């Protein structure tokens, strides 16, 4: 039997102050742990996954052996060779997936990169990306195209009785549609980043303030549908694997306002203006193409003046030389 006995204390001022501070630390630790717990708590049917260590599973061709279950078929064999570290089984809508973590240095499965120099990439809403070569990559706009169907399925789900089989079926349909939208977006980004890192050694893009852009109520849905963060994530690791460089221009670099021919800078350029003429050299500019060219030019000039040629590679660590005093724009280099 556990019995509690509460007894009053008679602390002096120093002791009372210590008690108050200790209570504050305990309160902070409790609130921090509670917030972390809420962040990491897994909901049934939403975050269904479990992880196996390397001594609990075995891979053989197009199948994997799961403890207490046996051999399970996979859609394709493992493409990487090396030491298997772990495997995570997860569910997305009605599809079960397995993700292997492999410690490898063998990148022979990757297509050989073609060194076509430097390319500037201007991300946008009307088109996903505009390259300094003049090529435009359209966004699949998966969410926008499926929005009406999403609304209909969401209404159907809200009208079903909780706990009923019909609600379970409606929830499954909605989850499958969300997964399809995510797959379409991910596929387009993978194709774009693979094409860029395969064809160009140096890629220049902008450091976009996505959080700030999401405050625009008219564009927030379209911006969220593009997946700018995922683009940067894929671009970084694919360039590293292929021995390329990714330059990220400073957030305040006026890529759209600068004339890519003479360097004249406009004071204002509203987002609605897609074409403009330079008042100095009278060159006509497409807003996105001009921005992409300026990004490319920025990387070329800063690579010569500040960054140098240090080499590249999967294991290479590049030490960037200090920027010269005259250089006004900072470039962050990720390899």
pLDDT tens, position by position, for the chain (335 residues)?
566 677 777 888 888 888 888 889 999 999 999 998 887 777 777 778 888 888 889 999 888 988 888 899 898 888 888 888 898 999 888 888 898 988 887 776 676 667 778 999 999 888 889 999 999 999 889 999 999 999 999 999 999 999 899 999 999 999 999 999 999 999 999 999 999 999 998 899 988 888 888 888 888 888 888 889 899 999 998 888 888 889 998 888 888 888 988 888 888 888 888 888 999 898 899 888 999 999 998 877 765 333 333 333 333 333 333 333 333 333 333 33
List Cβ neighbours of 38 (8 Å cut-off, separation of 6 or more). none
Please list the active-site residues.
Answer: 122, 206, 288
Phi, psi of 74 (to 5 degrees): -115, 155
CA distance 176 to 182: 10
Phi first, then psi, for residue 53 (nearest 5°) are -80, 170
* CATH of segment(s) 118-138+185-334: 3.30.420
> Could you give phi then psi for residue 21, rounded to 5 degrees?
-65, -45
pLDDT digits (tens, 9 = 90+) for 253-302: 888 888 988 888 888 888 888 888 999 898 899 888 999 999 998 877 76
3-state secondary structure of 168: helix
pLDDT in tens, 142-153: 999 999 999 999
Angle in degrees, 0-180, between the axes of helices 228-241 and 165-199, rounded to the nearest 10: 50
The whole model's pTM is what? 0.71
Break the chain down into helix, strand, coil percent, rounded to 5: 40, 20, 40
Q: Kindly give the pairing relationship between strand 58-60 and strand 275-277.
A: unpaired
Domain boundaries, the chain: 49-103, 118-138+185-334
């Amino acid at each position: 039997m556990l019995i509690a006995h509460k007894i009053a204390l008679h602390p002096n001022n120093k002791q009372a102050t210590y008690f108050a501070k200790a209570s504050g630390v305990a309160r902070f630790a409790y609130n921090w742990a509670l917030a972390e717990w809420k962040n990491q708590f897994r909901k049934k049917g939403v975050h269904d996954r479990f992880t196996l260590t390397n001594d609990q599973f075995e891979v053989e061709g197009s199948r994997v052996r799961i403890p207490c279950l046996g051999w399970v078929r996979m859609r394709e064999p493992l493409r990487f060779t090396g030491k298997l570290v772990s495997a995570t089984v997860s569910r997305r809508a009605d599809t079960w997936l397995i993700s292997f973590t492999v410690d490898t240095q063998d990148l022979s499965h990757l297509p050989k990169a073609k060194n076509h120099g430097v390319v500037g990439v201007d991300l946008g809403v009307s088109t996903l990306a505009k390259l300094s070569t003049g090529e435009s990559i359209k966004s699949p706009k998966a969410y926008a195209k499926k929005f009406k169907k999403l609304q209909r399925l969401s209404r159907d789900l809200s009208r079903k009785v909780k706990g009923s089989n019909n609600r379970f079926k409606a929830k499954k349909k909605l989850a499958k549609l969300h997964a399809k939208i995510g797959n379409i977006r991910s596929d387009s980004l993978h194709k774009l980043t693979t094409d860029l890192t395969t064809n160009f050694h140096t890629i220049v893009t902008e450091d976009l303030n996505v959080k700030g852009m999401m405050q625009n109520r008219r564009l927030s849905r379209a911006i969220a549908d593009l997946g700018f963060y995922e683009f940067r994530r894929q671009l970084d690791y694919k360039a590293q694997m292929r021995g390329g460089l990714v330059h990220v221009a400073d957030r305040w670099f006026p890529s759209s306002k600068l004339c890519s021919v003479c360097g004249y800078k406009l004071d204002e350029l509203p987002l609605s203006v897609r074409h403009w003429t330079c008042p100095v050299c009278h060159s006509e500019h497409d807003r996105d193409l001009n921005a992409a060219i300026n990004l490319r030019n920025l990387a070329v000039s800063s690579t010569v003046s500040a960054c140098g040629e240090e080499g590249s590679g999967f294991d290479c660590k590049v030490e960037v030389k200090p920027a010269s005093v005259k250089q006004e724009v900072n470039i962050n280099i990720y390899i």
